[in-house]
Copies of this chain bind each other. A is one copy, B any other.
Amino acid sequence: MNFTIKNVLIATDDDYTTVDVQVVDGKIATIAPDLDVIGAAVDGRNNLLLPGFVNAHTHSSEMWQRGVMSMLPLELWLAELYDFAPLDLEKVYLSALGTAVETLLSGGTSVVDHLVLIPGQELETIATAVRAYQEVGIRAFIAPLIQDEPLIASIPAGNSVPNNETYFRSTGATLEMIAEAVKQYHRPEEGVSVLVAPTGIQLCSDALFLGCIELSDRHNLCRHSHLLETKAQEKLAQEKYGCTAVEHLQRIGYLGDRTSLAHCVWLNETDIKILAQTQSTVVHNPLSNLRLGSGIAPILKYIQAGVNVTFGCDGASSNDSQDLLEAIKIGSILHNITDSEYQNWITPRKSLEMASLGGAKGLNIADQIGSLSVGKQADLVMYDLTKLSLLPRTDPIGLLVLGRPVNVVDSAWVNGKGIISSGQINTINIDNLKQELFNRSQWENKRKSPGVAQIETHYRQIMDL
């Protein structure tokens, strides 16, 4: 599957140049003008070639509830989400396909799926997502979402009596299940990696975190988690540990250069220094943080402190899309209102670096993907600069990041394999996917969540509402 892209625009340090790109055995072999055609020739004229982005945090099965979730803060929103989440494996399969397709069509070639597991069918859920991602051909990072405390534990107790509910599966059984998932599905060289991914301090014991650290060290796995998405979680951390969540995670050894942390909205200056020191990665999910009213993550401070930052869509029920270019745009311009010193604002070129190399760093594979570099995997996306949303011609990267590109991905390759050509997905039948999504759903707008009713009074009290 060797090929040569002819006459394509690429970004240099501070400009653009037109080159040819040879891809051999899945890797970028040569980048230079006037190269011979090796393998198939791809016409790159009036196209921009970029490294693929990483959709660095999502929950694929949330696609089934996008558009219908109430306008609620995270803690109540989660109660509604779980009330209406009777998943089956076929739905897991279809939403993983949908997540992969929307990610690819918006420039992503890798996805980190913080995968919600069907109770009692945990390994089957993972197997199903793996199958979907391999069929589409996206590079997949499966982060099975685990916890060992019941949902109510995620809300600060305040003065109320602590809850004595227990979680349905023991910490030990959960860790065994993840160990088995690693054994069966962790195949980085085939484009599927498994991450350890306790959902966060709000629902996980130290024992679970420590078990994950041990697994991660034994198999060289990346680590993932939600971190301080909401003010309620900030309160909870103080209740639970008497210190910030970041301080606690550092103390138990969860942070590091293989650790990526979704959200990071409620961190203080000391926490930020800890993230920088430990070389942890922040995954910024701006749409979700707005939709759930979580707040604005202090991304400019992270960048100034030297913390690696990348972007995620988060699950489609809190976004309500999987369009990475949208997350990149909003996740970049949103921060201009947090700092009147405009010299600190994120430029479009910086945004792209965060979305590609930043994502690769967070997955500990910056030596393999994330930039147009000879020897790296050919995870590439080619954008058609003649599309209306990228005209008139000005700065191609500015148009891509700051505009609202529509139908602009002409081609995408993962590991040198062509996934999109002429704007169409090659690997699966999109009409079938649409038909299946249509058939397994119905228009509805009158849901009532018993879960929200159950905890709302307590939530309002704790949050002074």
Residues on the B chain within 8 Å of A69, using CB: 398
Instruction: Given A321-B389, A336-B292, A346-B71, check contact A445 B16 (CB 8 Å).
Output: yes
Cβ contact within 8 Å between A320 and B438: no
- Asked if A330 is at the interface of the complex by the 8 Å CB criterion, the answer is yes
- Asked if A444 is at the interface of the complex by the 8 Å CB criterion, the answer is yes
- Asked if A32 is at the interface of the complex by the 8 Å CB criterion, the answer is no
Residues on the B chain within 8 Å of A340, using CB: 73, 231, 293, 463, 465
Cβ contact within 8 Å between A71 and B347: yes
What's the Cα separation between A386 and B437 when bound, in Å? Answer: 9
Residues on the B chain within 8 Å of A292, using CB: 336
Cβ contact within 8 Å between A430 and B391: no
Cβ contact within 8 Å between B437 and A67: no
A394 is contacted by which of B289, B290, B385, B444 (Cβ under 8 Å)? B444
Stretch at the interface among A140-148, A401-409, A411-419: A401-409
Residues on the B chain within 8 Å of A339, using CB: 293
Cβ contact within 8 Å between B15 and A295: no
Residues on the B chain within 8 Å of A393, using CB: 437-438, 441-444
Interface residue count on the A side (C-beta < 8 Å): 82
Cβ contact within 8 Å between A326 and B71: no
Residues on the B chain within 8 Å of A63, using CB: 392
Residues on the B chain within 8 Å of A446, using CB: 14-15
A15 is contacted by which of B337, B433, B441, B445 (Cβ under 8 Å)? B445
A438 is contacted by which of B342, B347, B386 (Cβ under 8 Å)? B386
- Asked if A65 is at the interface of the complex by the 8 Å CB criterion, the answer is yes
Cβ contact within 8 Å between A291 and B388: no
- Asked if A52 is at the interface of the complex by the 8 Å CB criterion, the answer is no
- Chain B nearest CB from A77 CB (Å) reads 9
Cβ contact within 8 Å between A64 and B336: no
Residues on the B chain within 8 Å of A295, using CB: 337
Residue-wise interface mask of A (322-350) relative to B, using a CB-CB cutoff of 8 A (1 in contact, 0 not): 01001000100110110111100111100
Q: Which of A421-465 contact B (CB under 8 A)?
A: 430, 433-434, 437-438, 440-446, 463, 465
- Asked if A287 is at the interface of the complex by the 8 Å CB criterion, the answer is yes
- Asked if A66 is at the interface of the complex by the 8 Å CB criterion, the answer is yes
Residues on the B chain within 8 Å of A400, using CB: 67
What's the Cα separation between A294 and B348 when bound, in Å? Answer: 18
Residues on the B chain within 8 Å of A398, using CB: 66-69, 320, 445
- Chain B nearest CB from A269 CB (Å) reads 20
Cβ contact within 8 Å between B441 and A293: no
Residue-wise interface mask of A (360-394) relative to B, using a CB-CB cutoff of 8 A (1 in contact, 0 not): 00000000000000000000000001111111111
- Residues of A in contact with B (beta carbons under 8 Å apart): 9, 14-16, 63-69, 71-73, 76, 98, 101-102, 231, 287, 289-296, 316, 319-321, 323, 326, 330, 333-334, 336-337, 339-342, 345-348, 385-400, 402-404, 406-407, 430, 433-434, 437-438, 440-446, 463, 465
17 A-B contact pairs sorted by A residue (CB < 8 Å): A15-B445, A64-B394, A66-B398, A67-B398, A67-B399, A68-B395, A69-B398, A71-B336, A73-B342, A76-B342, A287-B333, A290-B336, A291-B336, A321-B403, A323-B406, A396-B443, A397-B445
Taking A16-B445, A292-B336 as known contacts, 14 extra A-B pairs with beta carbons closer than 8 A to each other, sorted by chain A number, are A15-B445, A65-B394, A67-B395, A71-B345, A98-B391, A287-B333, A290-B336, A293-B337, A387-B434, A388-B433, A392-B437, A392-B440, A393-B441, A398-B445
